[in-house]
Amino acid sequence: MLTHEEIERGLAENSDAPNGAARNAHAEVLVGAAEATGDGALFRKALDNLINAYLWSAESSKMLVPFARLLQEYDKDPGSFDRWAAHSLFWQFKWVATALSDSPEIPLESATGWLDEMERRYRIAGYSERPVREAELWLADAIGEDDRAERAYRAWLAADRDSMSDCHACELNGQGAYAVLRGDDAQALEVWQPVLAGERTCAEEPHRLLAHSLLPLLRLGRFDDARSHHLRGYRMARGSESLLPSVGKHIEFCALSGNESRGLEILAEHAAHVGPLVNVDDQMAFHGGILVLLRRLTELGHGQSPAVPYEGVPRTVSELYEVLRASSLEIARRFDARNGTTRVSDRFLARIGREPLVDVLPLGVRSTALPKAPVPAAAAAPAAAPAPPAAGFDELVERARQARDQGHPAADGLWAEIGIRVDARPEGEVDALVAADVADHRALTAARGGAANAAELLEAVRDAYRALGQAQRAALAQLRLASEAAQSGAEPERIRKLLEVAARAAEALDADEPLRGRRIALAELASIRVESYLRSLEAGPEHDHLHGPGQDHGHGELAAELGAFVAARAEDLPDLVAEAEEMLGRVALSQGDPERALPLLASSAARAVSAQRPWQAVDPLVLRAGVLMSLDRPEAAEEAARAALEHSVEVTEAETHGVVRLTLADILLRRADAAAEAAEHALTAAHWFDQAGLTADGGAQARLVVARAHAREGRNADAAEVLQSTLPDLLEHGEGQAVSAREFLGDLLRQLNDSRAAAEQYLLAAEVAKGWEDTRPQAALAQAAAEQLSAASLHQEAVAAYERSLELYRVTGDAPIAEVRILRSLAWLAPRENVTAAAWAQARDLMHQAAGVVETALAEHGETPAAPQLRAELAQTWLQLAQVLDWRVNSLEGADEEGGGEDGEDGEESPGAVVGREAEVEALRLEEIGLSERAAALYAELGPDHLGDRLQCVQYAAWTEQETGREEAGVARLSALIDELRARPEGVPEGLLERAQSSLDSLRS
């Protein structure tokens, strides 16, 4: 049997325990133990603890029993409840009213009776009816009495607020929720704005409202707000039992915004709760969001994919959908039976049948892509399927040929579609030229992908075109054979031979062939490119070259050949000249001449546009934008990047879209006023990189830019969510990127007051930097970790981190300011947990060491530009030493009031010890005054930039003098400074005189 003291201790521990079933079980045990003691006060305290434990869990509906027992205790002896306990009891009535409405096993008559009882007791106690009318609103709405609900809503708003009213944040939640039920999303968001903006908050707000707002925002097209509310809101709701309905809303949001994979990840994080809950209303709300996701996944062809287990049994998506739907509808029918209306089940069915509100809303967070769903058998075209109408097919072929001849990006997609239709036709019904064109497309795709049979396919295409009398297409296929040989690493002799054959094939075309000149020029340009590549190979591995064939580095021959090509073809083949000029620009860059590259890249883009091939201008413009940024010309870089974005409209390659958007986002991020637009482009870039299968590469870089843009806007929670999701990818991009990413995440977590997590990131970053020759990054990270460990009250760990940082800074020998700040921090930590005289002596010694570091640096460096900052650090050290001494004085005076000796000694002290402590206090006070005087004098020497620091020192000295009984001296000291400030002809910083005068008035009062 637990003792009274053990129960009290257990109640205190339980109040601070994490919410959930374990806390509830412990609270139940404590109620039984408290009742067994016969101590009424202890029993009431245990019941209150149990009610609060239930409230913040998924078992909130169980609070009715302990509340009824606590109410019985009140009725037996109201006088045993003090003012606070009575207030708490009446406050809990509101929770119980909600639990009654949300519990189908409670008969409607009982629920109504409890509501009447709440109204009666509130009236007798003199409380406003406001909470009663709110509770009536939700009960009336649940049972379909809409007129009564409207009356209750108006009465709720009209009633006075008093000490029993819910906080403003919770009330606004309910008022907005009622607007959504009436179909007025805009009104709801207007009502919710003070909470969403952080002006009104409480323990679970804005957590819940951020989730409630998601679908209204989507329906209103406010996509950026919806994205932000999801990122910020899910971070708040994640893992909280009492917020499972909010988690369900985040899952539903993902399902309706094209983010099914993200929804599946959130579901996996909460798999432990995917089962029956004690609070069945929460169960319906949570599972309802999951069902929306599971239905979407099934529609997308993932019904047989694994989901999460249900009661320990693995389930596929379709299986879990059926289980959750059946259990949820069973709960809904119980509500309907209790309420005498189908409102609950009608609303539930409407919810789980919702259709997507947007195709894809990029969220920025990294999610593992869903696997490609298998095509259902019914969806596959049967071999005997009728051919599409001839006119439609012929038109498609004509469009594909035009796009191919134009070099349009859409050509690949058109030929792929034609290929599908051709495959569905009987072999004899396919036009031979169309078949050759389809084979040409497939061979080119194979060559681009480095397929082993690419050469064989290209040869077959060449021969087919020859047989059909398509000499110019055969010549092009021959040229592609040479390019494929170079790409696959064939012997130089074979590549050169293939190039010669391709050139002869082009020359051999009939003189009246319209494409003869183009085929000859293509062969010439390919020869220039490939021959340069071959020369680099033959020069040996020590000969650097650019990224592809023909981009030779450090050799003027390629530039000369390309220049001659440009001069010869400038008038008749602008698109090929554009390609040559882009190559020339890259050569110039490889030779370290960006100024020569810029006009070439600009000309390349302009020629492509004039040739009506704007998509061909994208690559040179992106490259030009990057070069301009490297030359610190951001305005011109932005202009080039925006032009690239404009010309990329018809591009079909996902990676190119990602590169263009990321380039522009990175440039915009350098501007102070363009963070929001940078985030938008980076979000889109991440989406495109994901589509291209480059999530871990370009996608990670894009998400890093998203995070930095969000942070620039002050959206630190959004930034942290995005960065944490892509951190594993960034860690694979080299040590420098890993350290930078972890440090950035640590900074974000620090801004979010998550000190432990911030310290962890700083320490992990420091570990990566451990082997670097320059120890300063590791030292700075260790110092940052120490600061956060101290903020988290992990004092021993903070001391260890500070000492490691100090050691590393001392290795560099040139970081006195960092050293002095660390020593001061260690001084403050010294007596934090150990308040012995030795600890205070250590704190004093550390402050003296800090002053010594600065004085040594001043002596060594003299009047260098760093001297003013060093002297300011010295003044700050003296002031902080005075503050440490003041802390010591307070500890001595506290010991005197408690009647105990220092170092934890108990018992009455001798008169001599008391007198000695009083003398020590007096000496410390005088030393404080002297230190603050020295600091003020040094700040005075440093000039007007330190007037605020000087005032702080004078105020400190004046107040210390008052504490020693010399009020007039303190008043005179502060008055003299005020007179000096007023006499300054150049004035003083705004508010400084007001602060000084306020302090003086307080001293005189």
Q: Which residue has the higher pLDDT, 528 or 905?
A: 528
Q: Does the pLDDT value for residue 10 go beyond 70? A: yes
The pLDDT, as a whole number, for residue 27 is 93
Q: What is the mean pLDDT of residues 788-810?
A: 95
Confidence of residue 547 (pLDDT cuts 50, 70, 90): very low
CB atoms inside a 10 Å sphere around CB 510: 9
Q: Which residue has the higher pLDDT, 907 or 750?
A: 750
Residue 606 and residue 594 in contact, taking contact as beta carbons nearer than 8 Å: no
Contacts of 888 (CB under 8 A, 6+ apart): 831, 840, 843, 924
Residue 647 and residue 618 in contact, taking contact as beta carbons nearer than 8 Å: yes
Cβ-in-10-Å burial (0-12, 13-18, 19+) of 363 comes to buried
Structure token digits, residue 209: 């409202």
Cα separations in angstroms, 844 against 839, 849, 922 = 9, 9, 17
pLDDT, tens only, 80-93:
999 999 999 998 88
The pLDDT, as a whole number, for residue 19 is 82
Q: Which residue has the higher pLDDT, 812 or 173?
A: 173
Q: 15: closest CA among 76, 56, 65, 43?
A: 56
Helices (H) and strands (E) in the chain, counts: 45, 0
> What residue has token string 């000029």?
581
Q: What is the mean pLDDT of residues 768-782?
A: 94
The pLDDT, as a whole number, for residue 569 is 93
Report the distance separating Cα 196 and Cα 191, nearest Å. Answer: 10
The pLDDT, as a whole number, for residue 903 is 52
**What do you get for the CA distance between the two ends of the chain, in Å?**
58
Q: What is the mean pLDDT of residues 868-896?
A: 89
Long-range contacts of 160-165 (CB under 8 A, 24+ apart): 160/128, 160/130, 161/128, 161/130, 162/127, 162/128, 162/130, 163/87, 163/127, 164/87, 164/90, 164/91, 164/94, 164/122, 164/127, 164/128, 164/130, 164/131, 165/128, 165/130, 165/131
CB atoms inside a 10 Å sphere around CB 772: 13
Report the distance separating Cα 25 and Cα 572, nearest Å. Answer: 85
Of 106-110, 574-578, 653-657, 800-804, give the lowest mean pLDDT range: 106-110
Q: Does the pLDDT value for residue 275 go beyond 70? A: yes
Q: Which residue has the higher pLDDT, 988 or 750?
A: 750
Q: 523: closest CA among 487, 451, 474, 456?
A: 474
Confidence of residue 377 (pLDDT cuts 50, 70, 90): very low
The pLDDT, as a whole number, for residue 248 is 97
Q: What is the mean pLDDT of residues 735-751?
A: 97
The string of DSSP codes covering 227-276 is: HHHHHHHHHHHTT-GGGHHHHHHHHHHHHTTT-HHHHHHHHHHTGGGSS-
CB atoms inside a 10 Å sphere around CB 485: 22
What pairs with residue 202 in β-bridges? 205
What pairs with residue 310 in β-bridges? 313
Q: What is the DSSP letter of 360?
A: -
Structure token digits, residue 510: 């009939």
Residue 679 and residue 702 in contact, taking contact as beta carbons nearer than 8 Å: no
The pLDDT, as a whole number, for residue 891 is 83
Report the distance separating Cα 254 and Cα 389, nearest Å. Answer: 40
pLDDT, tens only, 956-974:
999 999 988 888 999 999 9
pLDDT, tens only, 598-636:
999 999 999 999 999 999 999 999 999 999 999 999 999
Residue 96 and residue 113 in contact, taking contact as beta carbons nearer than 8 Å: no
Q: Which residue has the higher pLDDT, 429 or 649?
A: 649
Q: What is the mean pLDDT of residues 138-153?
A: 94
Q: Does the pLDDT value for residue 817 go beyond 80? A: yes
Q: Does the pLDDT value for residue 750 go beyond 90? A: yes
Q: Does the pLDDT value for residue 338 go beyond 90? A: yes
Confidence of residue 917 (pLDDT cuts 50, 70, 90): confident
The pLDDT, as a whole number, for residue 921 is 87
Q: What is the mean pLDDT of residues 866-886?
A: 93
Of 273-287, 313-327, 540-554, 882-896, give the lowest mean pLDDT range: 540-554
Structure token digits, residue 589: 């860059």
Q: What is the mean pLDDT of residues 769-779?
A: 93
Residues in the chain: 1005
Q: Does the pLDDT value for residue 539 go beyond 50? A: yes
Q: Does the pLDDT value for residue 905 go beyond 80? A: no
The pLDDT, as a whole number, for residue 383 is 36
Report the distance separating Cα 896 and Cα 728, nearest Å. Answer: 56
The pLDDT, as a whole number, for residue 913 is 63
The dihedral built from the CA positions of residue 284, 289, 290 and 295, taken in this order, carries a sign that is: positive
Q: Does the pLDDT value for residue 925 go beyond 80? A: yes
Residue 702 and residue 665 in contact, taking contact as beta carbons nearer than 8 Å: yes
pLDDT, tens only, 497-526:
999 999 999 999 999 999 999 999 999 999
Structure token digits, residue 908: 């009455």
Q: 3-state SS string over 443-492?
A: HHHHHHCCCCCHHHHHHHHHHHHHHCCCHHHHHHHHHHHHHHHHHCCCCH
Q: What is the mean pLDDT of residues 134-151?
A: 94
The pLDDT, as a whole number, for residue 387 is 42
Cα separations in angstroms, 808 against 772, 781, 786, 796, 802 = 12, 11, 14, 19, 10
The pLDDT, as a whole number, for residue 546 is 44
Side-chain-facing half-sphere of 156: CA atoms under 13 Å: 22
Confidence of residue 742 (pLDDT cuts 50, 70, 90): very high
Report the distance separating Cα 19 and Cα 43, nearest Å. Answer: 21
C-alpha angle 441-446-452 in degrees, rounded to nearest 5:
145
Of 416-430, 550-564, 662-676, give the lowest mean pLDDT range: 550-564
The pLDDT, as a whole number, for residue 60 is 76
Q: 584: closest CA among 572, 571, 573, 567?
A: 567
The pLDDT, as a whole number, for residue 897 is 53
pLDDT averaged over every residue in the chain: 90
Report the distance separating Cα 946 and Cα 976, nearest Å. Answer: 17
Report the distance separating Cα 604 and Cα 176, nearest Å. Answer: 56
Q: Does the pLDDT value for residue 901 go beyond 70? A: no
Side-chain-facing half-sphere of 744: CA atoms under 13 Å: 28
